[in-house]
Amino acid sequence: MSIWVKRSQTCGAGLILTLLLFTILAGTGEHAHSQLLKLGHYLWPDYSTLRNGTITTACQDDFNIDKRLDSLEMSFNEEQQEFDLLAETFNREDARRSLENQHWLCQQQQQAATLKEQSHSPLLTAFHIFENGFSSLSLLAINYKHWTLTLVLLMAAIIATIHQHHIAFRAISTRQDNLVSSSLQLLGNACVAISCFSYLQNNLAIEMSSIDNELLIALCAGFTFLAGINACQIFTKCRRMAKSGSWSKALLSTPIYTFMILGSAHHFFWVTDQVSGLAIYITQIYQLSGLYLTIGIYIWVGMLLKQSHIGEHLFGILKPWKLPPEYLAVIAIALMALPTAYTGASGIIVIAMGTVIYQELRRAGSRRQLALAVTAMTGSSGVVLRPCLLVIGIATLNKEVVTDELFYWGGRVFVLTLLVFLFYAVITKQKPNNRSHLSDAWPDCIIAIRQFAPYITIFALLTVLYHVVLNAQLDEFSAPIMLPMILIAIIFYEGKQSLRNKSLPVSTKNMIKTSSKIFNSVDGASVHIGALLLLMACSYAVGGVFENQSTTLESTSMLNGPTSSLFTIMSLFVITLVVIGMLMDPFGALVLVSGTLAPLAYQQGINPIHFWMTCLVAFELGYLSPPVSLNHLLTRQVVGEQEFILSKREGDTFYYRHERILLPLLVMGTTLILVAYAPLLFEL
């Protein structure tokens, strides 16, 4: 049984790797096709005409204008007599000009056909086939992006389910944990399968659908298969687990996506009696298929980064200065803000970079609680920076704001967040400053910079190569196709260096083959992709429940009352936004807020820029707030359960025993208060 499971996981990871590479290759193909068209026009000035196939003309060589005029005049006179129309005269001059224009156009077509026949060559044919291949690849990826996302989602979800590695409050460790978790997952997955089947029946009955029926069949089969895995785990894994645990804690081992499904299913199945409603909202993930495929690629990028030694060398530059862990944490958060701006979600960065950040902070002497807090906060301040997709989405869905204004104020919110974190880091610092002198630290720092220089060189060369060959800059659109290739090149470089240079870090002495590292990165990414994408898909169902509820902010007496102040109204929005951030992924929450809360805020006189800055900070606070604390759960996944257990044994006061929770709440909570309420003082 275990051999079959391992082989299935290997095949699944291989399929996910193929789909991700296909997505990357298709994105590269778009740039390559554009450049090939430019090259074609450079080599053949009339390439756009030459590539459009055979030109056929209906012109006659003996095109006699006078005969055609006589024929047209005769037909005109006959129609006048037949229909007894008012007497009109045939305008021979206008008819002549029209025929002359037709004749000229016909001659142009004949010349183009002759030119193409004369310009035809084996080189042109080969070039056209090559150029058309990239065009076909891009169109294939666009036409089948829904299927690509479906296969990645289901296959990764299957791997995450087999590993029992979904996002939950605690890991499965006892028989009770496994029984409760697997049973509830079975029920949740069965509900999705039933809803998809109902949605399919409705589509077949009305012969109309907003989504392909084949996709619904695939989703129905996929969630049925997930339910089957859960059923097998109930009977097989319970036998292997010798420990007995607490029934009260077993519920915490259930994945969060299961609670989302069961809560939404209760609403749609019994409250509104719309069985297909659950599937209708879950399939809204297809509205942003390209975005969620990009998220999968970014998670793979994080696993590739984990297989490399970039983080070790980067922090090696800072190590000679012997900075206090608190100051090093500020630098880490500042460094991670940039990749967060490209991905658009701090949760992705926690998965991608969490292990590296945690390990390097621990090597620098940081206490576990502080390292866990910083890892959970990784990227929380970067969602307001250019070119974050979330901010672009806000400007797209809300005409009241533009990206330049959002990024302008977002940069100031980012600086504010860093200053607030620095403030709390200073007042909670335990050890005194013991920094190295410049003369002592500089030589080791120079050595570390030299070791890091090849990485910068590879990055710069490949970035320039992409720019010159494909005209692609490292922006939010090109980063998903460029970063994986850059990191694979770096891993190949490290593999060759490990064979030549024995002075590399100790961890490289046990370096495995480069190809194995790449496959291991996909194997590790598959689990995280399945856990995160499934959670994001189910958050759309939660958003559907919110939309169907009649008790909204619009109907509250506090919001519509004559005595409501801006501070009271803003408080209601802040609380609601934090709760939404706790329950939904950022992109689904953005769509929900744009259609519900944002118009209410504008009506109440809140500045749109002010509202959305508050919204973004509130979302990040929601991801760090109990009882859900999504970023903390992701941190537990990437760091490991053992480190969490050890962290609970540290600390001599209440704050230091719970620093991993309290520090992020203090930083983001203080930032949210300043962002939400300070501007109101200037509006009074």
Cα separation of 571 and 567, whole Å?
Answer: 6
Question: What does the pLDDT read at residue 50?
Answer: 66
Residue with token string 């026949």: 117
| Per-residue model confidence (pLDDT) at position 12 | 80
Q: Which residues of the chain are under the pLDDT cut of 70?
A: 1-9, 49-64, 77-88, 109-120, 207-210, 238-244, 344, 431-439, 499-513, 549-564, 683-684
Are 338 and 344 within 8 A, CB to CB? Answer: no
Listing DSSP states for 453-487 in one string gives HHHHHHHHHHHHHIIIII---SSTTTHHHHHHHHH
Round to whole Å and give the CA distance between 371 and 309.
19
**pLDDT value at residue 515:** 75
pLDDT at 151 (0 to 100): 94
3-class DSSP state of 172: coil
Q: Is the Cβ–Cβ distance between 406 and 603 less than 8 Å? A: no
* pLDDT at residue number 159: 92
Give the pLDDT score at 317.
87
Written as one string, the DSSP assignment of 83-145 is HTPPP----HHHHHHHHHHHHHHHHHHHHHHHHHHHH--HHHHHHHHHHHHHHHHHHHHHHTH
Could you tell me the two tokens for 246?
């607490």
Output the pLDDT for position 490: 92
Task: Give the residue among 157, 56, 174 at the shortest CA–CA distance from 109.
Answer: 56
Identity of residue 234: I
- H helical segments located in 501-652: 514-548, 557-560, 566-583, 586-595, 597-603, 608-623, 630-639, 641-647
CA contacts within 13 A on the Cβ side of 56? 1
pLDDT in tens, 369-384: 999 999 999 878 888 8
**Token code pair at residue 630:** 């999504």
Radius of gyration (Cα) for the chain, nearest Å?
A: 31
Instruction: Give the single-character DSSP code of 628.
Output: T
Whether this prediction's pTM lies above 0.85 is answered by no
pLDDT of residue 553: 45
Alpha-carbon gap, residue 605 to 595, rounded angstroms: 17
Residue-level pLDDT at 53: 54
In this predicted model, what pLDDT tens digit does every residue of 69-114 receive, in sequence order?
777 777 776 666 655 555 567 777 777 778 777 777 777 766 666 6
Whole-number pLDDT of residue 563: 46
pLDDT for res 504 = 47
The pLDDT assigned to 263 comes to 92
Query: Do 401 and 309 contact (CB within 8 A), yes or no?
Result: no
Count the Cβ atoms, other than its own, within 10 Å of residue 104.
9
